[in-house]
């Protein structure tokens, strides 16, 4: 008597495996989008500096490329996550929203804290890239903490 | 909120993955509900009620103060 995951009497397990496959497909697609954006960026940027560490003052790119890259970033950081929200259950949605809340709180609290510390001569002045890094890192860390807590 | 999800699942010899598939949620969501770390939405509670063919109030129990 087979009651294993392939048993026809266990339709839920089959649906759960299909759900897992969709999740991995989404993660692989998101990774590919990131790889394509990185490759395009490195191919289209001119001048000196490093986009990944926020040295953009001396970097340039053609206007058409800038618009295309802006659209790509909008897709990667706004469209893809919002669409991802429609594919998950309310438990996963809660974990994701807590992660985003962590990032938002870090940015809102981080800027004034960083600014006054800079006024006191303790740290360099705040930068837009620095705030982005704080928000992004806090989002990831908060999400991981919520995931690990279960 | 307490619930009898684990007992009802065991009575039917269903794994967490089996119940998750029947409810169209992740296995992690089922585990979180069973361990009391997550209260399901009203919609999911109704779906759980349908899957077990039992009234919601016999599955989810209000905790005494």
ipTM of the complex: 0.84
- Considering only CB atoms, which chain A residues are within 8 Å of B28? 91-92, 150
Gap from B41 CA to chain A (nearest CA, Å): 7
Q: Which residues contact B2 (CB under 8 A, 6 or more apart)?
A: B36, B60, B61, B62, B63
What does the pLDDT read at residue A8?
59
Gap from A150 CA to chain B (nearest CA, Å): 7
Report yes or no: B47 at the A interface, CB cutoff 8 Å. no
Cα A10-A15-A16 angle, rounded to 5 deg: 95
Alpha-carbon distance of B19 to B7, in angstroms, equals 12
Confidence of residue A104 (pLDDT cuts 50, 70, 90): very high
Q: Which of A13, A19, A92 sits opposite B15 (nearest CB)?
A: A13
Question: What are the strands, taking DSSP E only, across chain A?
Answer: 46-47, 59-60
Cα B18-B22-B24 angle, rounded to 5 deg: 110
Domains of chain B: 2-52 (1.10.260.40)
What does the pLDDT read at residue A28?
95
pTM of the model: 0.80
CB A106 within 8 A of CB A134: yes
């Amino acid at each position: 008597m087979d009651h294993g995951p392939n048993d026809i009497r266990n339709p839920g397990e089959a649906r759960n495996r299909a759900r897992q496959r969709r999740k991995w497909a989404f993660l692989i697609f998101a990774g590919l989008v990131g790889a394509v954006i990185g490759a395009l960026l490195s191919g289209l940027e001119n001048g000196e500096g490093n986009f990944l560490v926020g040295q953009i003052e001396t970097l340039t790119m053609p206007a058409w490329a800038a618009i295309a890259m802006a659209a790509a970033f909008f897709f990667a950081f706004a469209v893809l996550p919002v669409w991802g929200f429609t594919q998950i259950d309310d438990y996963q949605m809660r974990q994701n929203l807590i992660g985003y809340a962590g990032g938002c709180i870090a940015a809102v609290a981080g800027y004034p804290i960083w600014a006054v510390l800079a006024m006191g001569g303790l740290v360099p002045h705040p930068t837009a890239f620095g705030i982005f890094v704080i928000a992004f890192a806090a989002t990831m860390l908060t999400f991981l903490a919520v995931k690990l807590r279960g | 909120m307490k619930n009898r999800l684990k007992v009802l699942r065991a009575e039917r010899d269903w794994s967490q993955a089996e119940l998750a598939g029947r409810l169209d949620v992740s296995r992690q969501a089922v585990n979180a509900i069973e361990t009391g770390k997550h209260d399901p939405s009203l919609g999911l509670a109704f779906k759980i009620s349908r899957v077990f063919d039992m009234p919601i109030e016999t599955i989810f129990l209000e905790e005494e103060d």
